[in-house]
Chain A
């Protein structure tokens, strides 16, 4: 079983739409959670960390459910520039550097 499972999509939405991505992780010892964004043929870049209480950064809201081992990302008022692959990432503890990535969910926002 993979450490992190994500629906690969693709998701195709119009500008202004709200879209949600989900992922699940298999290791209950996981302690840190992130969403990364990866543009085509570019390196992954940290979008936001995910905290147990949920957190928001502008149009982006991330949620964590430790009991269900489930992570979500909500994007409101989608922009064309949001088109990218969104990677769900977990770590088993901040002293251990290894990151476990999901396969990513592809998003295309159309005008």
Chain B
């Protein structure tokens, strides 16, 4: 499968714990995005990487959230001191080096439940 992959697919954690999610974009896609989707809502943008550079961050990305893409390939999203309001589907998307940045391919998501 050469699509965007995300791990884990599901994560259940207790409030106050830290969690980390991983996204592997489509090979050679240099643009990578994180979105969050809560029940009944559309995805909301969190952050955007071009290669290893984080070029845009949403105000949704509070200081408890950090995203990295150290070598310009896979990316991680860490949430520290999780809160129940962090429960959501975290989606990763990538787009190719050439062509339109708005042509994005989504991974299956990581569903986070904070108890």
**Which of the four size classes fits the interface of chain B?**
20 to 34
Selected contact of B108 from candidates A42, A96, A100, CB within 8 Å: A42
Note all chain A residues with C-beta closer than 8 A to B43: 44, 87, 99, 101
Given A101-B43, A103-B41, A103-B42, answer yes or no on A94-B106 (Cβ-Cβ < 8 Å). no
Selected contact of B48 from candidates A42, A98, A104, CB within 8 Å: A98
Determine whether the beta carbon of B56 is less than 8 Å from that of A45: no
State A45–B33 Cα separation when bound (angstroms).
15
Given A103-B40, A103-B42, answer yes or no on A97-B48 (Cβ-Cβ < 8 Å). yes
Note all chain B residues with C-beta closer than 8 A to A98: 33, 45, 48, 56
Number of contacting residues on A, CB 8 A? Answer: 25
Determine whether the beta carbon of B107 is less than 8 Å from that of A43: yes
Determine whether the beta carbon of B106 is less than 8 Å from that of A32: no
Chain A minimum-CB-distance residue to B111: A41
Note all chain A residues with C-beta closer than 8 A to B109: 43
Note all chain B residues with C-beta closer than 8 A to A87: 42-43
A72-110 vs B, CB cutoff 8 Å, 1 = contact: the mask equals 000000000000000101010011111111111000000
State A46–B44 Cα separation when bound (angstroms).
16
State A67–B103 Cα separation when bound (angstroms).
24
20 cross-chain CB contacts under 8 A:
A4-B42, A32-B102, A43-B91, A43-B108, A43-B109, A44-B106, A87-B42, A87-B43, A94-B100, A94-B102, A97-B33, A97-B95, A98-B56, A99-B35, A99-B102, A99-B104, A101-B44, A102-B42, A103-B42, A104-B42
